[in-house]
Amino acid sequence: MYYASRTGTRRNLDAIGNAGWGLLVSRAGVWRTEAWTCSRTGERRKFKIVGDNGAWADHMAGREFDEDQFDRFLDWVSSQPIIPTWLVLPDIVAGGIRSLELSVRWSNRCLAVCPLVLLAVQDGMNEQDVAPLVGPKVGVFLGGSTQWKISNMARWGEFCRLHDLHYHAARVNTAKRMAAAIAAGANSADGSSASRYAVTVPLLHFASRQLDLLTPRREANVRL
């Protein structure tokens, strides 16, 4: 399943919805769900959503993770009629164990809002750090610096396969990156390119439908 970053542009929303994708609503963005128009029936439909903690936006702006705003974001999420499929636990980009400690501190609060939360793995973390914390209600969100994420995508995919965890690849904005996520066995991915440019939707949609025969989850026929 692919989740595009939330946008208010009608043309892009319709393209995203007709591709069968959901929306990623971020703490650092506009807190609003959206609807799209089905190209077959003309019916207006609500998107499936997931909740992002906004840590990447904080990282890019050079600021600390805003815990107070995230707490308010969880209040907003809990008031919505559509429950997110999952939420990303607070993290610190490339923050190693410090990021892990932040995620653990917020886990109970987030699980009270959403039945599935994702733990963001970062530069400086390994499987031994994460293994005691994951399970049916806690999956893995591949975060970290861009180079670390690319280099470790397959490694964390294998970890999630062995532990039967939901595995999400963040910042997947190209067909090449989509293919890498599929090969790593990711259950879902997100990106912002389709939210900004509707013309990228067909390219990503085509890539997302190509089953990589080398994916570690090929026996389950998993596709993004």
Domains assigned to the chain: 2-220 (3.20.20.60)
Backbone angles phi, psi at 98, to 5 degrees: -60, -40
pLDDT for position 202: 53
To the nearest 10 degrees (0 to 180), the angle between helices 201-208 and 10-18 is 20
Q: Tell me, what's the pLDDT at 178?
A: 85
Classify burial at 39, counting beta carbons within 10 Å of its beta carbon; exposed 0-12, middle 13-18, buried 19 or more.
exposed
Rounded CA-CA distance 195/174 in Å is 13
| pTM for the model | 0.86
- Asked whether the beta carbons of 119 and 133 are under 8 A apart, the reply is yes
Mean pLDDT by 10 residues, the chain (224 residues): 89 90 95 93 95 94 95 96 96 94 97 97 95 98 92 96 97 85 93 56 53 44 36
What pLDDT shows up at residue 27? 97
- The pLDDT score that the predictor gives to residue 110 is 98
Are the C-beta atoms of 37 and 43 separated by less than 8 Å?
Answer: yes
State the pLDDT at residue 114.
97
Nearest partner of 221 among 207, 209, 203, judged by Cα: 209
Q: Which residues pair with 189 in a beta bridge?
A: 2, 169
Give the per-residue pLDDT at 191: 80
What is the structure's pLDDT at 96? 93
Please choose, from the candidates 159, 153, 198, the residue with its C-alpha nearest in 3D space to the C-alpha of residue 172. Answer: 153
Amino acid at 92: I
